[in-house]
């Protein structure tokens, strides 16, 4: 369809939509964790145990909350974009492991599917870059 072929001219706008949408959603998920304080950070950071890291869960939880919240802001701006994507991939790999080891609605492949989808998206964006409408534009 000729009409849809012309949408390729708007790749950078498409990347902006993806950046803003993902950035807002990660701020939405990360900000409550960041405000949750030490108890929330420890609970979030305990997921590192599923990848064999059992020390300093509070620190890991704080880092996860910061990655989601500050990373979401940086995604929207397109600042430090590839580093943010890499940190999000790492964060999401831990989330995937966590969900795969849970039972019930939060567990298994269905429970991990959202983290898997986001991880794939950030892995792809790592290679594509932020697009023209970003602070990192070249």
Read off the pLDDT of residues 63-107 as tens digits, 9 standing for 90 and up: 999 999 999 999 999 999 999 999 999 999 999 999 999 887 777
Return the exposure string of 60-77: e unless at least 16 CB atoms fall within 10 Å of the residue's CB, then b. Answer: bbbbbbbbbbbbbebbbb
pTM over 0.85: yes
CA–CA distance, 58 with 50 (Å, rounded to integer): 15
Task: Pick the more confident residue, 104 or 20.
Answer: 20
Q: Is the pLDDT of residue 60 over 90?
A: yes
Q: 107 vs 13, 54, 63, 75, CA distance in Å? A: 35, 21, 23, 28
Q: Is the dihedral angle over the CA atoms 62, 63, 65, 66 positive or is it negative?
A: positive
């Amino acid at each position: 369809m000729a009409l849809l072929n012309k949408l390729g001219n708007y790749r950078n706008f498409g990347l902006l939509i993806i950046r803003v949408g993902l950035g807002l959603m990660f701020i939405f998920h990360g900000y409550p964790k960041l405000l949750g304080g030490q108890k929330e950070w420890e609970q979030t950071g305990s997921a590192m145990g599923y990848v064999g890291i059992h020390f300093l869960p509070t620190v890991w939880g704080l880092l996860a909350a910061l990655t989601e919240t500050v990373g979401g802001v940086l995604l929207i701006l397109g600042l430090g974009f590839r580093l943010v994507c890499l940190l999000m991939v790492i964060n999401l790999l831990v989330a995937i492991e966590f969900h795969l080891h849970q039972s019930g609605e939060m567990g298994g492949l269905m429970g991990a599917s959202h983290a898997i989808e986001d991880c794939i998206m950030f892995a792809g964006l790592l290679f594509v870059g932020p697009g023209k409408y970003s602070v990192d534009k070249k």
